[in-house]
Structure 1
Amino acid sequence: MEGGFESQLSSHGAGFLESSEKDDELRELGFGRLGCLHYRRRCKIRAPCCNEIFDCRHCHNEAKNSIESDHLDRHDIPRHELQKVICSLCGTEQDVQQNCINCAVCMGKYFCAKCKFFDDDVSKNQYHCDECGICRIGGEDNFFHCKKCGCCYSMLLKDSHHCVERAMHHNCPICFEFLFDTMKDITVLPCGHTIHLECVKQMELHFQYSCPVCSRSFCDMSSAWEKLDQEIASIPMPESYQNKMVWILCNDCGETSEVHFHIVALKCLSCNSYNTRQTQGGSASCSSRITEMAR
């Protein structure tokens, strides 16, 4: 309990805070000063799975799934089964509710009874999505729930996103964190697959420009393809290979083509992409130059 809270609570109990204005002041005690790295809030939770007390579910999951923990004891908290919270100011354990039954302090400016969730930082514009079954941030008016994808997306994508069934009900293909309830920003690639925005930025720093799930290019690669055109034109194949034909599958448009073999890369005849893979006609061609040409 932070300095000053005990005396103010004691005064309230003795009848010194009688006006509604002072009651409001009391409810705001500790606002913005209590909580953990994940949330500003004025309560702790008792985990229903292990009966231990933590600041929030993320604190529980990090502690119980740490490398120091016995792998047989590792687990995530069943978030919707939470039954008890502990007021951070007076220490009273109680059923889940927004205001403490003992000192009347508001334990979270944003409170969701369905998710048993508290947060004092309302600048996130939290809202509860019944179809997702969890609270999300960003403002309800700014998002829509796609029934096929099974998650909420920005309204900017409502008429343009490519649906992938249960698109966010899996781990990020780069860092392997579960995407559906992640606290990090998520982006939807043109192919419809979802990934952490920061993971995409890290891929771009390492000159990787294709979806790690389906291999489709997620940005404009036309300048890279032009450089490959020039390189291929400057490197003629030996005479014994000049008439060699191979079949390729394009990762970008999904079409198959029979093309002249070249050691540098193989160009799709349908969309002119070099993001292809050889399927028939001898040993696979080398596509490592695509990464270099994209730099």
Structure 2
Amino acid sequence: MTENNHNREHALPSSSVNSQQQHESEPFSTTQSTTNNTIHHDEEDDDWEDVHDDEEDDDTLLELDEDHHPLCNSDNNHTSEVEVEAKQYSSDLGCSHYPHNCQIESPCCKEFFWCRVCHDNEAFQKCKCKVENMDRYSVKRVKCMRCGTIQSSDNVECENSECKTRFGEFYTCTICHIYSNDPKRPIYHCDGCKICRLGKREQFLHCYTCGACMAPNHKCIPQCMQSHCPICMEDLFSSRESVHLLKCGHPMHWKCFRNALKSRIYNCPLCQKYMVEISEESTRIIDEEIANTPLPKELQDKKVKILCNECLQRNDEAPFHIFGIKCPNCGSYNTKQIV
């Protein structure tokens, strides 16, 4: 494999909310509720892409959202060196997934497409090809879109001596067959993930426990990235959406996480722990509401059996109230009655 990143000093890393990853998506960046972890996948598929949230921290896995990495301050009128270089290398060639100078030949239908995602979106969805996900590793030929020369996919530049166009000005991977002219979007190939990921290699490590590229300070959960989003059920490892690691360590799409909060869903669908940090002020408000709302006499001394979703402790004599049942052990109201 040949991996070229010609302008690493100008390639801006993608940030994650608190903890982020990205996948050839981009390494996985996970966003944790309060400490956010956002993961990103395939660069091509955007299986993972840098997605950064300025409100979140970077203790997640890999996140790939270059939109969070402006090249220059909006208050400045001058153009940065990165912008100049981006304009110099940007071209009208490529697709919405990657700007680059060649097309790859699909090993299944023998048609040329800008990238694997273009094949999956166009050929399969339009019933031209029976293969839903093109095998990125089996590509044998590419076509230079400057001169039209069809040649081996092992080439990093056109073999036509009168052309010599580089297929990817800033990145080329002859394993995944990904090419990019975008200096703002750093990419690297991970041998552990066996795909390319968005982001800077030095900012992530491949965690063999979690099964993906992660931020160094992530929380390990065995094969957590080899799972599906508990909201939309899409495969997380190969997803093109950013992935967020919850406080409990379970991953879900960043968009699904945000939509859940907008819908006032605050518990992890898998373990029922809070997805966000609950402040002491919030707990105090519930305490005051309970103190100011006496129950009917027949319910005032009622005790119930509960299981706390936060500390996982059982209690057989927790005071009952319609506004919430507080865990005597940790003080959380994230409890449920049991029989």
Instruction: Pick the TM interval, shorter chain.
Output: 0.7 to 0.9
Matched, 1:120 2:156: no
- Partner in structure 2 of residue 101 of structure 1: 159
**Residue 98 of structure 1: SS of its match in structure 2?**
coil
Q: Offset at 1:37?
A: 0.9
**Deviation readout 1:64-93 (Å, 9 max, x if unpaired):** 564x659x9461112222222222222222
Q: What CA distance in whole angstroms lies between the structure 1 residues aligned with 2:142 and 2:263?
A: 45
Q: What one-letter code is carried by the residue in structure 2 that aligns with 1:119?
A: S
* Residues 139-150 of structure 1 mapped to structure 2, 5 A cutoff: 139-150=200-211
Q: 2:304 aligned to 246, 261, 267, which one? A: 246
User: Identity rate of aligned residues, in percent?
Assistant: 37
Count of residue correspondences? 247
- Partner in structure 2 of residue 25 of structure 1: none
The answer as to whether partners of 1:248 and 1:276 remain within 8 angstroms in 2 is yes
Pair 1:221–1:105, CA change in 2 (3 A):
same
The answer as to whether partners of 2:89 and 2:181 remain within 8 angstroms in 1 is no
Q: 1:130 aligned to 191, 203, 207, which one? A: 191
The answer as to whether partners of 1:29 and 1:105 remain within 8 angstroms in 2 is no
The answer as to whether partners of 1:162 and 1:192 remain within 8 angstroms in 2 is yes
Q: What one-letter code is carried by the residue in structure 1 that aligns with 2:229?
A: C
The answer as to whether partners of 2:185 and 2:199 remain within 8 angstroms in 1 is yes
- Partner in structure 2 of residue 270 of structure 1: 329
RMSD over equivalenced CA pairs, Å: 2.5
**Deviation readout 1:230-278 (Å, 9 max, x if unpaired):** 2222222223333332222222222222212222222112211111222
Q: 2:338 aligned to 254, 275, 279, which one? A: 279
Q: What CA distance in whole angstroms lies between the structure 2 residues aligned with 1:32 and 1:169?
A: 36
Q: Mark the structure with the bigger radius of gyration.
A: 1
Q: What CA distance in whole angstroms lies between the structure 1 residues aligned with 2:297 and 2:252?
A: 45
- Partner in structure 2 of residue 91 of structure 1: 148
- Partner in structure 2 of residue 187 of structure 1: 244
- Partner in structure 2 of residue 82 of structure 1: 139
Q: What one-letter code is carried by the residue in structure 2 that aligns with 1:153?
A: M
Q: Offset at 1:41?
A: 0.9
Q: What CA distance in whole angstroms lies between the structure 1 residues aligned with 2:138 and 2:332?
A: 50
The answer as to whether partners of 1:84 and 1:94 remain within 8 angstroms in 2 is yes
Higher helix share: 1
- Partner in structure 1 of residue 69 of structure 2: none
TM-score by length of 1: 0.75
The answer as to whether partners of 1:126 and 1:135 remain within 8 angstroms in 2 is yes
**Deviation readout 1:12-59 (Å, 9 max, x if unpaired):** xxxxxxxxxxxxxxxx99743211111111111222223332221112
**Deviation readout 1:179-236 (Å, 9 max, x if unpaired):** 2233333332221112232332222223322223322113221333222222222222
- Partner in structure 2 of residue 62 of structure 1: 121
Q: What one-letter code is carried by the residue in structure 2 that aligns with 1:54?
A: F
Matched, 1:216 2:259: no
**Residue 151 of structure 2: SS of its match in structure 1?**
strand
Q: What CA distance in whole angstroms lies between the structure 1 residues aligned with 2:267 and 2:329?
A: 18
TM-score by length of 2: 0.66
Q: What CA distance in whole angstroms lies between the structure 1 residues aligned with 2:319 and 2:289?
A: 15
**Residue 338 of structure 2: SS of its match in structure 1?**
strand
Which residues of structure 2 form unaligned runs of 5+? 1-86
Q: What CA distance in whole angstroms lies between the structure 2 residues aligned with 1:81 and 1:193?
A: 33
**Residue 213 of structure 1: SS of its match in structure 2?**
coil
Which residues of structure 1 form unaligned runs of 5+? 1-27, 281-295
- Partner in structure 2 of residue 16 of structure 1: none
Q: What CA distance in whole angstroms lies between the structure 2 residues aligned with 1:74 and 1:225?
A: 53
* Residues 18-37 of structure 1 mapped to structure 2, 5 A cutoff: 31-37=90-96
Q: What CA distance in whole angstroms lies between the structure 1 residues aligned with 2:205 and 2:142?
A: 32
Q: What CA distance in whole angstroms lies between the structure 2 residues aligned with 1:151 and 1:207?
A: 30
- Partner in structure 2 of residue 17 of structure 1: none
Q: Offset at 1:117?
A: 1.6
Q: What CA distance in whole angstroms lies between the structure 2 residues aligned with 1:145 and 1:53?
A: 32
